[in-house]
Amino acid sequence: MIVFDKVSKKFFNDTYGVKEVSFEIETGELVLITGPTGSGKTTLMRLITREYLLDGGQILFEGTSLKEIKTSLLPQHRRQIGVVFQDYRLLSESNVWENVALPLFIAGKSDPQIEERVTDLLELVKLDDKAELFPKELSGGEAQRVAIARALATAPPVLFADEPTGNLDKDSSQAIIRLLKKINELGTTVLVSTHDIVVLDEMKGVRRLELKNGELVLDTQSKKETKKKKQEKEKAEEPKPKKSPEKKKKKEVSKPKEKVEDLEDKPKKPRFKMPFKKLQLRKKQEKE
């Protein structure tokens, strides 16, 4: 899904953000990116979103080279990557519901679509009872959960959490990590950059990419996984034995199974309604 092939990014004074970094991340993986401050963790994120242009090597996202993406198509590319920041970056004048709804409003979704999606996301992050609160009324952990919900608004296949627990206490950090794990279990590829010991303890056994001075010094992708892939490849290459002729059996008529896609098409009743237009109305009233 994401391939870095000898990627380098150079800044002023010939210092490197990352230098000849190579790795591959599969769809649905949960990956930790670790290293001290200034090691290149945030640079990786900005290269993936193409905020930075690389100076060497190649990055592939879903098989497409980021070098080949036209400037006009960058918003479309960036909608495929939800980003969570250490400092939350919530709109102070907007409440929880409006902060989560904003990307959907910008994307031109209808009010019913926004209501349904925001309802689902606030239930996921367990903040559906705080939809009308403003950022200043939230704890740090709650604010970060709002930021995660907002990052997931357009259903991106990739979520990049950049130091998501940097401003949180231990209990809040553990809750955020459990939420990120749950999001990964639901099928989203999740990348977490951190140097937080609490996160490392909570995510033991998770694949870890460790950076130092811009260089990749460790990739803990298990040897068992590599061996398994090799065995699967060898098995696929083995000639298949010829099947002996069997008697034809009568086909049993069974009811068609309901697909996940069908379930998603079924209308859901949102637990609360708060069209985005209310934000505009409130701002107008404040001005008056």
Confidence band, pLDDT 50/70/90 cuts, at residue 240: low
pLDDT score recorded for residue 271:
44
Q: Tens digit of pLDDT for each residue in 193-214? A: 998 889 989 999 999 999 999 9
pLDDT score recorded for residue 262:
42
Q: Tens digit of pLDDT for each residue in 166-182? A: 889 999 999 999 999 99
User: Which among 87, 83, 100 is positioned nearest to 161, based on CA atoms?
Assistant: 83
278/3: higher pLDDT = 3
Specify the fold of 1-80+159-165+195-221.
Answer: Rossmann fold (3.40.50)
pLDDT score recorded for residue 14:
83
- 1-80+159-165+195-221 and 87-155+260-288 have identical folds: yes
Cβ(144)–Cβ(66) under 8 Å? no
Confidence band, pLDDT 50/70/90 cuts, at residue 221: confident
Interior/surface letters 85-95, b for 16+ CB within 10 angstroms, e for the rest: bbebebeeebb
Interior/surface letters 247-270, b for 16+ CB within 10 angstroms, e for the rest: eeeeeeeeeeeeeeeeeeeeeeeb
* Domain chopping of the chain, boundaries: 1-80+159-165+195-221, 87-155+260-288
pLDDT score recorded for residue 269:
42
pLDDT score recorded for residue 74:
93
Query: How does the average pLDDT of the chain come out, rounded?
Result: 84
Q: Tens digit of pLDDT for each residue in 121-146? A: 999 999 999 999 999 999 999 999 99
Beta strands in the chain (DSSP E): 2-10, 16-25, 30-34, 56-61, 64-65, 81-84, 158-162, 189-194, 207-212, 215-219
pLDDT score recorded for residue 288:
56
Through-space distance between the first and last CA atoms of the chain, rounded to whole angstroms: 51
What percentage of the chain's residues is helix, strand, coil (to nearest 5)? 40, 20, 40
H/E segment holding residue 226? helix 223-237
Choose which CATH entry (3.40.640.10, 3.40.50.150, 3.30.450.20, 3.40.50.300) describes domain 87-155+260-288.
Answer: 3.40.50.300
